[in-house]
Chain A
Amino acid sequence: MAKRLNIALAGNPNSGKTTLFNAITGARQHTGNWPGVTVEKKEGVVQFNGHQMNLVDLPGTYSLTAYSLEERLVRQFIVEDRPDVVVNVVDAANIDRNLYLTTQLLEMGIRVIIALNMTDVAEKQGVMINARKLSRLLGVPVMPTNGKKGAGIDDLLGGALELAQTDPPSDENRPIRYAKDVERECAAIESEIHLLPEAYQGLPKRWIAVKLLENDEEITKGVQGQPRSESLLGQVRESRHRLRDRFGDKPEFILTNARYSFISKIIEQSVRRTMDDRATVSESIDKVLTHRLFGPVILMTALYLVYLFTFQGSEPLVNAVERGFSRIGDLAAAVIPPGPLQSLVVSGVIDGVGGVLGFTPLIAFMFLAITFLEDTGYMARIAFMLDRILHAFGLHGASMLALMVSGGIAGGCAVPGIMATRTMREPKERLLTILVAPLMNCGAKLPIYALLIGAFFPGNKALMMLALTVISWAMALLAAKVIRWTILSGPDAPFILELPPYRVPTVRGLITNTWDRTWMYMKKAGTVILTISIILWAMMNFPSLPEDEERQFVAREDRITSAFLSDPSVARVFKSQGDIIRFNAAFRQLEDANGQNPEGRKPIFDAVATAIDDASGMADGEGNRVEASLDKVAEAYFAYTDQIMALNGERRSVQLKNTVGGQLGLALETVFRPIGFDWKTCVALVGGFAAKEVVVSTLGTAYSLADVDPEAADSLSERLQKEPGWNPVLAFSMIMFVMLYSPCFCTLVMIKKETGRWQWVVFAMVYTTALAYAAALAVRGIGVLLGAEIS
């Protein structure tokens, strides 16, 4: 008979559970989220002896008390999905504490098989476990396994298969027995349980009784409202009271103590320890890595390396993706005639998809680095060393990594930064980290800083960048503190952080985990980001210019062109509009090949003109004379193209002003008048909502400049210097505003994905923008006080 078996893997964090899961399922697994939350859920399938086994890797937990999200999920899964067998992965080297979860699983009256994992490590540390004796004492099968080497898996699966065909363990054979008084009260409660809520039916009444005795919130809520629940809850109150009088403590603590006494007894009989207290290899490593002086130095180096690896390591791939998409864009532009459709496909869809996929190598590299830190055990040490500082601001030691990746070293990105908070288990601290991470100086803000610093603070570039890094950290920490005081107030989550032994990560684990998380990003965030990027594209492009205005521009262009063509000195090269178009195309091709610069224009012109001369057989053999007259043509041609470019710039600026985004910018001008931002700045900031790097190019368009390359915006920089109203104070206001204002929508999408609630997205937008406004206004105020001239 081929039956499907449902098997769940439960175990402590760091017990090697996921490594074992990977070893069992290999590539036949996939990762999703638990419904409604962002805890990862891994599922896999394996064929064994003609049976199909469906495996679920439950989140790692230390107990089943249902205090934390992970604990609730594990318990809920066992209660509601009723797996046929629960494989309890126990770290042999840390057997005491691992068995605590085991005692709780055993109490649930389910079929449990123990995978005694990493016995080789345990033996090296002098911990010898008698598996057969352990099995007898616990009353469940115990199979030694080694997830890393893939050893013991067949025995484990065979054991699970055999176990699944037996009846669930009965109450009489339960290995854990409490003190007589406790057992008596359990029995008293049990006898009052008549009707169970549907979710709990089939579970042993004894387990329900124990949980009620422990005042378990979920179970108590579950029985409330059931018939005769009053007498049951009355019995619970009475029993709790009696036990408290008898033992001087609440039952939940008495039982926890009792479980550990049970564990101690079992350990005494089945575990032999030699080499007591000798420092392990891991402890020796730790002496250096968390050393008072070396520790922080190594930590900073490690964080810097993660940063370099994430951003520079992925750079070639990111560039390749971007190049690929710009080529696809060029192809599409060649096929589709110019117009709204071309713009939609090229600027909307292809750029949008490119934007999503452009992030992908970045996210993959970051997760590879983070998984490495997690799997080696160093991540816990990062939290250990930095907690003192970050906790002062309401954050957690583990927040550091997310803040670094978001731009703690200028040039990060909040999208992977927010994903990096997945390593945090404390919900409140995690949310807080997500909310302040976008205040860091991400890479997209840097071109704006470069532009404004270059234009208004040219003498202090390095100093300014350093100052901006310090300011963004200060703002993020300050914001964290304020949020923690106000809307996220309440006690800190207890800081109980296991420092697992250092381990060499498995290649498979690294790759699987990185791929899972990257794929999740592409699947979940990608679609939303694409949709919104098309909407934002439409906002910056529509409505297009009214027809009569458009006609005016066309007429002006025609006038300039006919004036140029009517110049007899250019007739040698340009006779008709067709000549100009052909010449422009050839010129641009050469320019693209040689790189753009103003000095290079003349030689390119000569080359193109000579080629055309040759092709049309006009070379007259008197090279010098041709050269001389070409100089004049070149002069006229450049004057002509400059005129056309200026006209196009003006057209784009007028067009931009007319779009939804432009109108929004115009409307915002009133709001931003106190700071001094005009509509051009406002519309650039609106564009920056799509992605901060768009601010520079939108500003260029608004100032009627031809296409501005954000990496080399010299013309825009000169333009702003000359522009009335722009001065160092306004520039610094703008820098502060850009640093702090609303996260770009990609980041907002990540905030939604990782917090699960729109309210946090709205909050993140509103508070950052308010903070940005206040900071920009403060800069202006201070500027006025210092006597700066503000027109």
Chain B
Amino acid sequence: MSETAFGYLLLAIGIAFVLGVVYAVTSHIGSTTTRPHPPRGVHLPNPSALPVIMAVGGALLGIGLAFRADDQPVANPFFAVPGLLVFLYAIVAWVRAAGREWDETERGSHDDTPGH
């Protein structure tokens, strides 16, 4: 088996092992979601997929920078362009969500910073 193929096989096993551990740990901690009513004055932001999305966008950008071919001046566009687009989408969506939540708390009660 070539070295690269061995590397990929190790990676696949590693990922499977990691997912197994994560499943084992988190399915015990997160099996029921409690949503009690917070006391007055406490505002908790909603869950959001934007952090994960932004991290993936940043990773793609980084991969584009690292795997630049000699004839590309700045980065490898195959990775950098999707990365940049994902990253910009995440920033725009984040700002809009933050603005929405800020307005809600302003029009609602006069306490708490909104989700950031």
Partners in one complex: no
